[in-house]
C-alpha cells in the first residue's frame, strides 16, 4: 500500500464508502422486494419462476458481499493511515491533517503555521516518507 496515495484520496475513499453503503442498502431492498413478491400468496408458474428468482437473489447477494469486502478493505487502509499519522509528532500530524483530511492548500497551511511554502512541503514529504517506512517495516514483521 502506498501511504501517499491513500492520503491523497482520503476524502474520496471516505465518500466512496458512504456511496457503496447506500448501494448495499438498495440491493438489500431489491432482494427483500423480490423475496416478498415471491411470497405474496399468488399462484406461481411452474418451471423456471422459482429458479429465476433464486438466481436473481443469489446474484444480488454476491454483489452485496463484493461491495462489503470493498468497504472492509477501504476502511482497513484508512485506519492504517490514520494510525500512522498518529505516530508522527504533533506539528507534523497537524500539517498532514490540514493538507489531506481538511484539504487545505500548502499556502493556507503555511500562512496558518507562519512558515514558508517550502518548509510545509518538506514537512509533508518527510512525514509521508516516515509513515511509508513505518508501514513497510510493520509489514515485514
The domains of the chain are located at 1-81, 87-141
Residue 91 to residue 108: CA distance in whole angstroms: 15
Q: What gap in Å lies between CA 121 and CA 117, rounded to an integer? A: 6
Question: pLDDT digit string (tens) for 96-127?
Answer: 999 999 999 999 999 999 999 999 999 999 99
Fold of 87-141: Arc Repressor Mutant, subunit A (1.10.10)
Whether 84 and 135 have beta carbons less than 8 Å apart is answered as yes
What is the arithmetic mean of pLDDT over 88-95? 98
Is this prediction's pTM over 0.85?
no
More confidently predicted of 23 and 54: 23
- How many C-beta atoms lie closer than 10 Å to residue 71's C-beta? 16
Query: Is 38:53 a contact under the CB 8 Å cutoff?
Result: yes
The stretch 20-35 carries a mean pLDDT of: 92
- Residue 88 DSSP class: S
Can you read off the three cell numbers belonging to residue 127? 512525514
Amino acid at each position: 500500500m502506498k501511504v501517499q496515495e491513500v492520503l491523497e484520496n482520503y476524502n474520496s475513499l471516505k465518500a466512496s464508502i458512504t456511496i457503496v453503503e447506500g448501494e448495499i442498502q438498495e440491493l438489500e431492498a431489491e432482494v427483500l422486494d423480490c423475496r416478498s413478491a415471491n411470497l405474496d400468496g399468488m399462484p406461481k408458474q411452474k418451471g423456471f419462476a422459482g429458479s429465476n428468482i433464486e438466481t436473481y437473489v443469489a446474484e444480488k447477494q454476491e454483489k452485496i458481499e463484493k461491495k462489503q469486502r470493498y468497504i472492509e478493505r477501504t476502511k482497513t487502509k484508512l485506519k492504517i493511515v490514520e494510525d500512522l499519522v498518529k505516530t508522527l509528532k504533533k506539528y507534523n500530524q497537524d500539517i498532514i491533517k490540514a493538507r489531506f483530511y481538511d484539504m487545505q492548500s500548502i499556502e493556507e497551511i503555511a500562512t496558518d503555521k507562519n512558515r514558508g511554502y517550502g518548509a510545509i512541503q518538506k514537512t509533508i514529504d518527510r512525514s509521508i516518507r516516515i509513515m511509508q517506512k513505518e508501514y513497510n517495516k510493520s509489514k515485514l514483521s
